[in-house]
Amino acid sequence: MATKGNISVHTENIFPIIKKFLYSDHEIFLRELVSNAVDATQKLKTLSGSGEAKGELGDLKIEVKLNKEAKTLHIIDKGIGMTEEEVGKYINQLAFSSAEEFLEKYKDKGAQVIGHFGLGFYSAFMVAHKVELHTKSYKEGANAVKWTCDGSTEFEISESEKTERGTEVILHIAEDSMEFNDDFRIKGILDKYCKFLPVEISFEDKVLNNPSPLWTKAPADCTKEDYEAFYKELYPFSETPLFWIHLNVDYPFKLTGILYFPKIKNEFEPTRNKIQLYSNQVFVTDSVQDIVPEFLMLLHGVIDSPDIPLNVSRSYLQSDANVKKINSHITKKVADKLEEIYKQDRVEYNAKWESVGTFVKYGMISEEKFYDRGVKFCLLQNKAKDFYTLEEYKEKVASTQTDKDNKVVFLYSNDMVAHDSFIQAVEKRGYDVLAMDGVLDNHFISNVENKIENVTWKRVDSDSVDKLIDKDIKKESVLSDADQTALKEAFEKDFSFAGTYKFSTEALSPDDSFLTLIKPEWERRMKEMQKMQGMNIFGNMPDTFNVVINTNHPLSLKLSKMTAGDAKTQLSKQAFDLARLSQNLLHGEELTAFIQRNTKELSA
């Protein structure tokens, strides 16, 4: 005889809210229903292991079937099943999770189930106008039960013709959800959410998932080939990763997973959504910014933890103590791995620095705790392509590059070709030059400059060669003070260009350039940092340059002896254009005129 009753809703009118608004994405319904089937199967395994479930378990594969003509979707498991009493307790009473009750009872026997809230089953009504449930308990003598509901608070329980142990959920797909009456759509959802569920999932007679993904195994049981093959499974079209970190923590929280360091070369584009979060092998989200530190969003891989608190739809993380602990643990494990490689094989570490460097520098900029670790294995590379830690490099250049204030000056270039004339000038003084051409290097320099004692950084084009490392040594000029003033005023009169170029004189070596165009360090750094941050406060302001006239250069002496006139102006202009050309500052008509003029002179 059929029995009728009313679903026990603990909060008035909650049912329509659950149906329409509980889950942000309607496709979640399939993840929830398959997860329930997995829970039922895992419970049966636990009971069988304890001797409470008798007999052979048989094939425990979960089947998902779509009947396009009938517009029904079937999720079938051979798990624990339910009695009529249990259907009344777990299905008719919202938010009474059988998973929570089961976990509490069997927590000492290693039970692993997914559900926490008792609401996932009702996600079916987001896409179905009617839901049937046919179930038969594993318990001896249990009768099969059929539960039917049309999406209202009314249900019907009757006898079922089901003969096998387990549960079959049948969704009669609603007219406004016909997108789910499609094989390709259903397979896509299963691939997304169920790819690594611990029980085989079959659709269209084909198993879609890997029930034993690599992160569930002990690190000692995994080979290099295993890790690389799993990376290809996750990212089929990616290059082989540099290395990886296998997370395997049981206390004070449970955390497993594998994080891969991809080859990123000298690029900085955080490839978000490359780390996938799972809970007991069920895909939750690829937005893991609360769990993984910002600088490690460049990593790829998988994190699995049942201890990360989620809201009822498992779609958003809730920040709490466990999340913060996991965040700190991941940072520590990454630092441990980098330091391990650095100490064990410096040659290998140097070879990987092009990619690893972005992680390390970004971490040092953004995470104070990581800075304290990273400074030990952060590398600098000089023009000769030799690698040094910050402390090693300080020791290398201290004897030659210490200024009058006892500051060790790190000279660097972000463009070795464009700065070639400046580099040649400092190398003549016996100085060394670092290559700092990464997209993060401007921020990195500003960050470490304030933390490394008695060290300052200067780009090679930021001052005249003798002022880059001011040793308080004065050179005498071959020109008198009056001649120096006259030379400076002549250049200011002809080439100041509304304040873009500001001229000064300095007694340098006769071998140094006649004119040196310098970009003020503070202005350049400010513009570069704002560009990196997407700001444009100084974007409309013209660049200014300090032009240093070398009063010991032979051309200074020649110009000082020439009387004012076209010849002197022409010679000055040619020298000025050459200096600007070397800095890529000659453009348009000026560049065309310069080329034509010099072509004529060569022809003559």
Strand pairing category for 275-279 and 300-304 = parallel
* Helix 183-193, helix 28-49: angle, nearest 10: 60
Average pLDDT over residues 361-375: 91
Show the tokens assigned to 400.
């030659």
Per-residue pLDDT of 117-144, as tens digits, reads 345 788 888 899 999 999 999 999 899 9
C-alpha–C-alpha distance, residues 230 and 317, integer Å: 26
SS3 173: strand
pLDDT, tens digit, for every residue of 311-330?
Answer: 434 444 545 677 778 888 88
- Which residue has better confidence, 173 or 273? 173
Tell me the per-residue pLDDT of 503-534, one tens digit each, with 9 for 90 and over: 888 888 888 888 888 777 666 666 666 665 65
pTM (2 decimals)?
0.75
DSSP 563: P
Give percent helix, percent strand, percent coil of the chain, each to the nearest 5: 40, 20, 40
Query: Identity (one letter) of the amino acid at 282?
Result: V
H helix intervals, 458-516: 465-468, 481-495
Higher pLDDT, 545 or 499: 545
For position 496, what pLDDT does the model report? 67
DSSP states of 537-576 as a string? TTTTSPP-EEEEEETTSHHHHHHHHSPSSHHHHHHHHHHH
Rg, Å, the chain Cα set = 36
Q: Do 297 and 290 meet the contact criterion of CB atoms below 8 Å apart?
A: no
For residue 15, pLDDT beyond 80:
no
Give the integer Cα–Cα distance in Å for 307 and 291: 12
Q: What is the pLDDT of residues 564-578, one digit of tens each?
A: 787 888 888 888 888
Output 11 or 407, whichever has higher pLDDT: 407
- CA 402 – CA 410 distance, rounded (Å): 9
Measured CA to CA, the distance from residue 221 to residue 434 in angstroms comes to 43
State the DSSP string of 64-101. Answer: EEEETTTTEEEEEE-S----HHHHHHHTSBTT--HHHH
Examine the pLDDT at 113 and tell me if it is beyond 50: no
What pLDDT does residue 413 have? 93
At residue 63, the pLDDT reads 97
- Residue 11 confidence (pLDDT) above 50: no
**Is residue 166 within 8 Å of 78, Cβ to Cβ?**
yes
- Which are the contacts of 234, defined by CB distance < 8 A and separation ≥ 6? 276, 300, 301, 302
- 379-429 confidence digits (pLDDT tens): 999 999 999 999 999 999 999 999 999 999 999 998 998 888 889 989 999
DSSP class of residue 241? P
Residue that wins the pLDDT comparison between 263 and 45: 45
Give the start-end residues of each E strand in 497-544.
Answer: 501-506, 515-518
Query: 17: which 2 tokens?
Result: 């809210």
Identify the residue with better confidence: 589 or 447. Answer: 447
Mean pLDDT for the chain?
Answer: 83
Residue type, 308: I
Calculate the CA 440 to chain-centre distance.
14
What is the signed CA dihedral for 564, 570, 575, 578, rounded to 10 degrees?
160
* Per-residue pLDDT at 108: 54
Of 166-175, 254-263, 264-273, 592-601, the range with the highest mean pLDDT is: 166-175
Asked whether residue 110 carries a pLDDT value surpassing 50, the answer given is no
**Residue-by-residue DSSP string for 338-356:** HHHHHHH-HHHHHHHHHHH
Listed in sequence order, the residues at least 6 apart from 518 whose beta carbon sits closer than 8 Å to its beta carbon are 461, 462, 463, 464, 545, 546, 547, 548
21 pLDDT exceeds 60?
Answer: no
Which residue type, as a one-letter code, is found at position 80? Answer: I
Q: Which two tokens stand for residue 302?
A: 């998988």
Closest by Cα among 436, 445, 432, 441 to 402: 432
Q: How far is CA 601 from CA 408, 574, 585, 586, 595, in A?
A: 46, 12, 22, 19, 10
Report whether pLDDT(109) > 60. Answer: no
Q: Which H or E run includes 335?
A: helix 321-344
Contact 135, 48 (CB under 8 A): no
Specify the amino acid at residue 277: L
User: 349 versus 112: which is more confidently predicted?
Assistant: 349
Q: Which domains does the chain have, with CATH numbers?
A: 3-207 (3.30.565.10), 214-344 (3.30.230.80), 379-453 (3.40.50), 481-603 (1.20.120.790)
Distances (CA, A) of 85 to 77, 142, 379: 19, 11, 66
Model pLDDT, residue 531 = 62
Give the mean model confidence (pLDDT) for residues 249-263.
Answer: 89
What are phi and psi for residue 250, nearest 5 degrees? -110, -25
Calculate mean pLDDT across residues 69-77.
Answer: 97
